[in-house]
Amino acid sequence: MTRVAVVGGGIIGLSIAAELLDRGADVTVYDPSPDGADGAWHVAAGMLAPGGESAFEYPHLTRLLEAGHELWPSFVAGLGDVGYDRAGTLSLALTADDVAEAAREWKHQKLTPLTGSQVRDLEPAISPRVRAGAFAAAEHQVDPRKIVAVLRERLTGRIIPRLITDISERDADDVVVIAAGYRTGALTGLPIRPVKGQVLRLRGEPGLLKHVIDGAADGRHVYLVPRADGEVVVGATQEERADRMPTAGGVHDLLRAALDLVPGLAEHELTEVTAGHRPGTPDNAPILGFLDDDRRVAVAAGHFRNGILLAPITARLIADLVLTGTADPILDAFAPGRFR
Ligand SMILES: Cc1cc2nc3c(=O)[nH]c(=O)nc-3n(C[C@H](O)[C@H](O)[C@H](O)COP(=O)(O)OP(=O)(O)OC[C@H]3O[C@@H](n4cnc5c(N)ncnc54)[C@H](O)[C@@H]3O)c2cc1C
């Protein structure tokens, strides 16, 4: 039986560990944070948006995002209610300048532009000031906190509350998988940095919004992710900072853009203000593969803005790698060696 240590019990580490367990490995996960709330997954909205802005940058990443997106129905089938919602995403532009900027993205994604009134037919709570929009039927959402809770339950007794500071500590294992989010950088020397994101959670009567909203309001970008229970996740700032402090400016920009697009949110309760760190890499793509030729240490980190979307495909590819020693060709573009 292959003995595997997974360093990091965020969404990536837990997904890999659960897949390995299902496939017969003896898995232990190490994470110092008792409820795992140190991870980026805890603040993440859970948009499953393979056509996002990364699509312009790196064709290999687009292919991985699309392949990852296809795995979601089977991934959630075994998890129970994790808030997987396929209503789709409505992209909005408030001003003429916002429309000009968004039109480029809509064209790239081959989305049909909608007028303001067509947008309000789909989603009546949208402000009458919104000029245009587009509907992305394939962009879904899930609740990352619910997924992590289910995966932790599955791995009961296999999660050890410990900070790993030196990977050679795990010499007794056949393979060590490092999935420590942005902290993978400090453990491995790979160029993974924290990219801070502030996120708000609002709560009100369920049903104000049916779709995920991804909008621009006077140059301020915001997304609104409505959950079935009345929670609305409002995100997110993007800052090259390592602190976790919510700021007045960050919260102001998010709320202003949210209320410009959906005025009815003003009556919602503001229940949470949090900040987390996306694990960023120089090319915005994840780092997936063995660290060295001896094939004892694998890395699965650097998922930046798409770690929720990419969790199922990362789990499958890394479990294959660990159990067979052979890398799927899709991994070639994401090998750690590209930064050496
Ligand atoms: C504001 C924001 C919004 C986001 N929205 C989305 C979204 O809508 N859709 C999407 O797909 N992605 C989104 N993301 C990105 C996504 O959250 C991350 O890419 C994803 O969480 C990365 O998963 P991970 O498991 O690698 O890291 P994390 O989720 O950060 O988890 C890392 C874990 O490793 C543990 N750890 C760290 N160091 C050690 C150590 N030395 N020893 C042991 N354990 C350690 C930590 O305690 C933590 O539990 C968002 C991120 C942010 C910040």
Concatenating the DSSP letter of every residue in 165-218 gives --GGGGTTSSEEEE--GGGHHHHH----EEEEEEEEEEE-STTS-SSEEEEEET
Q: Domain 3-78+142-192+281-339 sits in which CATH superfamily?
A: FAD/NAD(P)-binding domain (3.50.50.60)
d(CA 220, CA 253): 7
d(CA 284, CA 192): 10
Pairing of strands 3-7, 175-178: parallel
| Contact (Cβ atoms closer than 8 angstroms) between residue 62 and residue 184 | no
Please give the pLDDT value at position 35.
Answer: 75
Q: Which fold has domain 89-137+194-280?
A: D-Amino Acid Oxidase; Chain A, domain 2 (3.30.9)
Residues 252-292: pLDDT tens digits?
Answer: 999 999 999 999 999 999 999 999 999 999 999 999 999 99
| Comma-separated ranges of CATH 3.30.9.10 domains in the chain | 89-137+194-280
Q: Which residues line ligand 1 (CB under 6 A)?
A: 7-13, 30-33, 36, 38-41, 43-47, 163-164, 179-181, 183, 187, 197, 199, 235-236, 276-279, 301, 303-309
pLDDT tier at 120 (50, 70, 90 boundaries)?
very high
Choose among 245, 197, 251: nearest CA to 40: 197
For residue 229, report the distance from its CA to the centre of ligand 1, in Å: 24
Q: Does residue 53 carry a pLDDT above 70?
A: no
For residue 300, report the distance from its CA to the centre of ligand 1, in Å: 11
Q: Reduced to 3 states, what is the DSSP secondary structure of residue 144?
A: helix
d(CA 32, CA 159): 10
d(CA 22, CA 111): 39
For residue 14, report the distance from its CA to the centre of ligand 1, in Å: 11
- Burial class of residue 325 (count of CB atoms within 10 Å of its CB; 0-12, 13-18, 19+): exposed
Identify the residue whose C-alpha is closest to ligand 1 atom 19: 307
What's the whole-model pTM score?
0.97
Q: Reduced to 3 states, what is the DSSP secondary structure of residue 75?
A: helix
d(CA 33, CA 9): 8
Please give the pLDDT value at position 34.
Answer: 65
* Probe target for ligand 1 pocket from 308, 309, 310, 334, with the most ligand atoms within 8 Å of CB: 308
